[in-house]
């Protein structure tokens, strides 16, 4: 059986609807692309200046001038376009991005996102994160449910500096699919082998549970 993390990524891939323009953040989100069916109609955007991202290439086949925002050597597809950084974020801020998938340090029950700074420990700068989080039409998070120490990443409020307010719509973790609702976190699906009690215990804020047993992934 595949790992819960792999199944989380495969499940997140089903979030992408035909015709969408999508930006996949550095880290786990970029792996989502491997789970899209061949020929699926979608446009992948990377903020350093490419729409129509093709497969990642090994160094010996890479083009030195063709990377994604995470520095991976990528390729083009028929219909790809190159552009500058102002044009790239014009797309983002003007609402042409249907979906972005981001990583997270913390997500609050109201949809606040913190994913760029841990004061005193990690402050490399926000890059394009604020604009993606604030302006993509739909923002979903891909993340382990807890940090390495086992502390919840889903919290009543974010303690870390925010990336953007009330931006997250849905969270895919290795334990569950959880929506941000006006009432707070609401469990929609659960990972195979997990119990509702386990997920609620690992969540740092009240978790609304479904009446019927939820679908698994």
108 binds other proteins (CB under 8 A): no
Distance CA 206, CA 191 (A): 19
Measured from the CB atom, the residue of 71 and 182 that comes closer to other proteins is 71
Measured from the CB atom, the residue of 96 and 138 that comes closer to other proteins is 96
Measured from the CB atom, the residue of 1 and 86 that comes closer to other proteins is 86
Measured from the CB atom, the residue of 86 and 149 that comes closer to other proteins is 86
Contact 55, 31 (CB under 8 A): no
Q: Of these, 27, 138, 152, 161, which contacts other proteins (CB under 8 A)?
A: 161
Q: Is 47 a catalytic residue?
A: yes
Measured from the CB atom, the residue of 96 and 194 that comes closer to other proteins is 96
Q: Which of 47, 60, 157, 189 is catalytic?
A: 47
**Contacts of other proteins in 2-61 (CB under 8 A):** 18-19, 21, 33, 36, 38-52, 54, 59
Under DSSP, the state recorded for 60 is G
Smallest distance, other proteins to C-beta of residue 212, A: 35
**Contacts of other proteins in 166-195 (CB under 8 A):** none
How far, in Å, are 65, 134, 166, 199 from residue 116 at the CA level?
A: 27, 14, 16, 25
Smallest distance, other proteins to C-beta of residue 1, A: 27
Q: Of these, 125, 150, 182, 213, which contacts other proteins (CB under 8 A)?
A: 125
Distance CA 144, CA 158 (A): 16
Q: Around Cβ 52, how many Cβ atoms within 10 Å?
A: 18
Distance CA 133, CA 186 (A): 20
Q: How many residues are listed for the chain in this entry?
A: 217
Distance CA 147, CA 154 (A): 10
Under DSSP, the state recorded for 152 is B
Which pair of tokens denotes residue 119? 């004061």
How far, in Å, are 57, 92, 104, 186 from residue 109 at the CA level?
A: 39, 25, 13, 9
Q: Of these, 3, 14, 90, 201, which contacts other proteins (CB under 8 A)?
A: 90
Which residues of the shown chain bind other proteins in the complex (CB under 8 A)? 18-19, 21, 33, 36, 38-52, 54, 59, 62-69, 71, 73, 76-96, 117, 123-131, 134-135, 161-165
Q: Which residues are catalytic?
A: 47
């Amino acid at each position: 059986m595949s790992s819960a993390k792999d199944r989380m990524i495969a499940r997140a891939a089903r979030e992408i609807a035909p015709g969408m323009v999508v930006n996949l953040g550095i880290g786990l989100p970029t792996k989502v692309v491997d789970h899209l069916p061949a020929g699926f109609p979608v446009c992948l955007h990377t903020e350093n200046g490419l729409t129509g991202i093709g497969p990642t290439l090994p160094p010996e086949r890479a083009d030195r001038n063709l990377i994604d925002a995470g520095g991976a050597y990528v390729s083009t597809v028929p219909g790809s376009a190159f552009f500058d950084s102002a044009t790239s974020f014009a797309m983002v801020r003007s609402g042409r991005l249907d979906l972005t998938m981001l990583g997270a340090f913390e997500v609050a029950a109201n949809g606040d996102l913190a994913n760029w700074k841990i004061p005193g420990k990690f402050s490399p700068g926000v890059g394009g994160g604020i604009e993606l989080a604030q302006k993509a039409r739909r923002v979903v998070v891909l993340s382990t449910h807890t940090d390495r120490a086992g502390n919840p990443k889903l919290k009543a409020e974010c303690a870390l500096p925010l990336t953007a307010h009330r931006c997250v719509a849905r969270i895919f973790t290795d334990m569950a699919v959880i929506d941000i609702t006006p009432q707070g976190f609401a469990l929609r699906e659960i990972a195979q082998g997990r119990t509702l009690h386990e997920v609620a215990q690992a969540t740092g804020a009240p978790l609304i549970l479904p009446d019927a047993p939820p679908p698994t992934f």
